[in-house]
Amino acid sequence: MALFYLVRHGQADYTPCEERGYIGHGKDLAPLSEQGVREAEETAKDIRLMGADIIVASPYTRALQTAAIISRQTGIKLTVEMDFHEWMPDITFQFKTFEEVVKLNEDFNTFKGIYPVGIPGGEEQKRWESLTALRQRVKKAADKYAHYDRVIVVCHGMVIRTLVYAGPIKNGEIIECKYEAGQPDCEFSFA
């Protein structure tokens, strides 16, 4: 059983992505804002992180940059785990605006992460990653690190809420989670 320190990335600055007209997954190239860098630097000072075995990060820039700051300040090895990326609001990767993502997230929450069946418009809601798919992806990734003693996982709010019941999570916040490979699903907070 491992002790995971689940760290939500620092605040992102989407301006460079918007200026370049990026859509869909391109928006996940957003770096940290100045505030996000400060959040990551503060998180890196948290004594709980000292002496962890490894830092595992989502491949998205905001999480990877946060993890790099923590790695630099702690001297702990950093690796990237592809499946710790954030929930996919649009599995076609074609969303263009944040308003569209907000709507897709609202639909996900309304339907509790389960594709609606027999509801008018239900078919069009299937653009988002289901809760079942999210859980399977995240737990498969987490299982790879369950043999360590202490693991820093730098990722995203919905990934964290897949592993532990939590309400809204602040940027740079650390949530501790005891994790064992194959453990049962926790209740998901649709916060």
Angle at 58 between CA 55 and CA 62, to 5 degrees: 100
Six-digit token pair at 158?
A: 């919905």
Annotated binding residue 20: no
Residue 185's SS3 state is: coil
Alpha-carbon distance of 40 to 34, in angstroms, equals: 10
Q: What is the DSSP letter of 32?
A: B
Q: CA end-to-end span of the chain, whole Å?
A: 27
Angle at 88 between CA 142 and CA 121, to 5 degrees: 135
Q: Measuring CA to CA, how many Å separate 59 from each of 76, 98, 142, 166, 183?
A: 17, 20, 15, 23, 24
Between strands 2-8 and 150-155, the pairing is parallel
Which amino acids are annotated as binding site for substrate, given as ranges? Answer: 62
Residues tagged in the binding site annotation: 62
